Amino acid sequence: MGSLLLVTIQVDMHDQLALTLQDDLTARIVRDRAHGVLIDISALDVVDSFIGRMLGNIASMARVLDAETVVVGMRPSVAITLVELGLSLPGIRTALNVDRGMELLRAGAPGDIASDGPKES
């Protein structure tokens, strides 16, 4: 069984930094033979379409590399805003907090999203 990667986003990222994270994380999934990626966004007070797309890209790339991605800790205000913005984060599995996210990844259940995949790329 591979390892789990835990990523905590702590800063308000500019766009290039988000792309760098996306690339670094993809490389780490391969290097660490990770089967799960947990992204903690509880410190983020804003998720715009760019960050939303980055999260979707990470989930898609991880899936191709046989790893599941769970995004945890989304603030309620961020969730409400994302939906109004028109971003439903297709293909991204979410959990309330890190513990729940770990449980999901350890269970390794394919779940409902693994089969249909993201609708945009």
Partner 1 sequence: MVQKKVEMRLAAQEDIVAVRQATRALSVEIGLSIIDQTKIVTAASELARNTVIYGGGGIVTLETLRETDKQGLRLTFEDRGPGIPDIKRAMQDGYTSGSGLGLGLGGAKRLSSEFSIHSEVGVGTRVAITRWKA
Residues in the site for partner 1, rule: CB under 8 A? 12-16, 45-50, 52-53, 75-78, 80-81, 84-87, 120
Instruction: Give dist(CA 20, CA 61) in Å, integer.
Output: 14
Least separation in angstroms between CB 41 and partner 1? 13
Q: How many residues does the chain have?
A: 121
Q: Count the neighbouring beta carbons within 10 Å of the beta carbon of residue 94.
A: 19
65 or 118: CB nearest partner 1: 118
Instruction: Give dist(CA 101, CA 4) in Å, integer.
Output: 11
6 or 90: CB nearest partner 1: 90
115 or 121: CB nearest partner 1: 121
